[in-house]
Structure 1
Amino acid sequence: MRLVTWNVNSLRARMPRVVEFLEAHAPDVLCLQEIKCSEEQLPHLDLQASGYRVVAYPGGPREGVAVLVPADQEVGNVRCGLPDEPDPGEARWIEVEVGDLTVGSVYVPNGREVGSPTYEAKLAFLDALRARFAELSSPLVVAGDFNVAPTDADVWDPDVFDGATHVTEPERERFGALLETGLVDAFRAVEPDTRQFTWWDYRGGSFHKNEGMRIDAVLATPDIDVGSCGIVRDFRKGKKPSDHAPLLAELALPEGANRG
């Protein structure tokens, strides 16, 4: 199974790049974040023309998450939102069943400034996410923008981020708590020492300087074999890119599981 996560920073603005990606990589599952559109604005027809269907939890002009699968693939047991999340009005979590596999697409709050109400809400969301992880059964993959760089190896210069969000101990502890529910960080499972990033600021030529962070991740239960996991850098280049690059994982489901 080829599973991809990508914070597109507006699905409508990035639709030509999404179509290009679907044609180039033909994912079995594509988890999207920050789709920034209403239900009425979802590009169902464009995606159908590319051979895909979308199941989404739209978030209007700011948030929103979705899962794309091939048009002939059945999707079941759709669930939107997390119990006990701090702001149920924000569309940050969707889970679906694709065959025997449960897939979650997540967009964790940014946090903005350490100690602020938005930072505390981020920590509370991560706590709610961990509680949901503990309830879900294998095989399970959760993919998305976690807005946490798990270690100093996941940022281009730790000193630059000193005192900022994404790298604080409370955030990293909560990311670690997600893994403690029994999931594996797919990228680190196959690239334990590689320094690669999934996000670069639009400003200051950050992408070309490779001044970024690895804040997007694919987390999988140990019964799923991770063949490879890496960043598709070409889709952070070119015309109107998102500030995130897609993260692509090749996964082998446990014997007996299927994709529908």
Structure 2
Amino acid sequence: MQTLKIATFNINGIRSRLPALLQWLEREQPDVACLQELKAADVAFPILDIQAAGYGAIWHGQASWNGVAILARDAEPLEIRRGLPGDPDDTHSRYLEAAVKGVIVASLYLPNGNPQPGPKFDYKLAWFERLIQHAASLYASGHPVVLAGDYNVVPTDDDIYNTRSWRKDALLQPETRACYQRLLAQGWTDALRARFPQERIYTFWDYFRQHWEKDSGLRIDHLLLSPDLAPRLQNAGVDRWVRDQPRASDHAPTWVELEVSE
């Protein structure tokens, strides 16, 4: 048996934060890295730098915002799907799915949904419905699957430092949380919460009011495991040191280690 480390990281601009990404890849060496919020068109993706770091990659870019990618150490991800099914008019680059090292891995960037109520929140919920439907088909396939990404969902009040100033935010709305719970109810395991059932674990600290320095964070980056992978969960965590670097993303990489067959 060997250990497979799969990480998710909202890079919040891959061109401006490429040095930070490369530093993280070199230090932590995830086997698979799912990136979100590339904020770069396909032609601007720094594939040569990624390859020089020892990673193959596929990506689904978009100028200025959105964008997702899947990186694989010493391997090439085999693309399965680009974009969620269910809305042919959706032009946002928010979902990418590939076979990597014997596992189906999805990198997803769920819409933020603010301000709510309004069209952005309606789009968030509609996109979530499409994710739930597609996740059900992945679940039914029987393949080992990891759904990794920035879900823009704070699942419970235990996943945020304080709800006082966030009650109207789209990330905490009952409809948002209900969608996440419906997704879990299919049979997926929230890996970070399974590893730390009682602890407050954060993956995101915004840039305001010294929230990083005060550890005023949110848990919105999640890795969901299919039933055959959940028993193989060896460890999970957050690379908080990345958030402490100069000009850091407001997210920190979040990861799982799975025991898999060689």
TM-score over 0.5 for the pair: yes
Match of 2:150 among 142, 145, 148: 145
Compute the TM-score of the two structures, normalised by the length of structure 2.
Answer: 0.93
SS at match of 2:86: coil
* Structure 1 residue 240, shift from structure 2 partner: 1.4
Q: Structure 1 76/118 Cα, relative in aligned 2: closer, same or farther at 3 Å?
A: same
**Are the counterparts in 2 of residues 111 and 118 from structure 1 also a CA contact under 8 Å?**
yes
- Residues 168-226 of structure 1, C-alpha deviations (whole Å, 9 max, x = no match): 11000101111122210000111001101111111211101111110000101121121
**Are the counterparts in 2 of residues 75 and 96 from structure 1 also a CA contact under 8 Å?**
yes
The question of 1:52 aligning with 2:55 is answered: yes
Residue 41 (structure 1) aligns with: 44
* Structure 1 residue 10, shift from structure 2 partner: 0.5
Match of 2:114 among 112, 115, 122: 112
- Structure 2 distance, partners of 1:61, 1:117, is 20
The question of 1:193 aligning with 2:198 is answered: yes
What runs of 5+ residues in structure 2 fail to find an aligned partner?
Answer: none
Percent same amino acid among aligned pairs?
37
Residue 252 (structure 1) aligns with: 259
The alignment covers a number of residue pairs equal to 254
Match of 1:94 among 85, 93, 96: 96
SS at match of 2:181: helix
**Are the counterparts in 2 of residues 199 and 243 from structure 1 also a CA contact under 8 Å?**
yes
- Structure 2 distance, partners of 1:134, 1:104, is 13
Residue 15 (structure 2) aligns with: 12
- Residues 68-124 of structure 1, C-alpha deviations (whole Å, 9 max, x = no match): 0023x2422431111124862100000001143100000000001221110011001
Structure 2 residue identity aligned to 1:80: R
- Residues 98-153 of structure 1, C-alpha deviations (whole Å, 9 max, x = no match): 14310000000000122111001100100000111011132000100000000000
- Structure 2 distance, partners of 1:163, 1:33, is 24
The question of 1:203 aligning with 2:215 is answered: no
* Structure 1 residue 160, shift from structure 2 partner: 2.2
The question of 1:26 aligning with 2:29 is answered: yes
- Structure 2 distance, partners of 1:238, 1:100, is 33
SS at match of 1:4: strand
- Structure 2 distance, partners of 1:85, 1:112, is 21
**Are the counterparts in 1 of residues 55 and 76 from structure 2 also a CA contact under 8 Å?**
no
Q: Could you say what the CA RMSD is over the residues aligned between the two structures, in angstroms? A: 1.3
SS at match of 1:68: strand
- Structure 2 distance, partners of 1:99, 1:45, is 22
**Are the counterparts in 1 of residues 36 and 109 from structure 2 also a CA contact under 8 Å?**
yes
Q: Structure 1 86/241 Cα, relative in aligned 2: closer, same or farther at 3 Å?
A: farther
What runs of 5+ residues in structure 1 fail to find an aligned partner?
Answer: none
Structure 2 residue identity aligned to 1:121: Y
- Residues 229-260 of structure 1, C-alpha deviations (whole Å, 9 max, x = no match): 1111100012210010110211123x5xx6xx
Deviates more, 1:77-86 or 1:145-154: 77-86
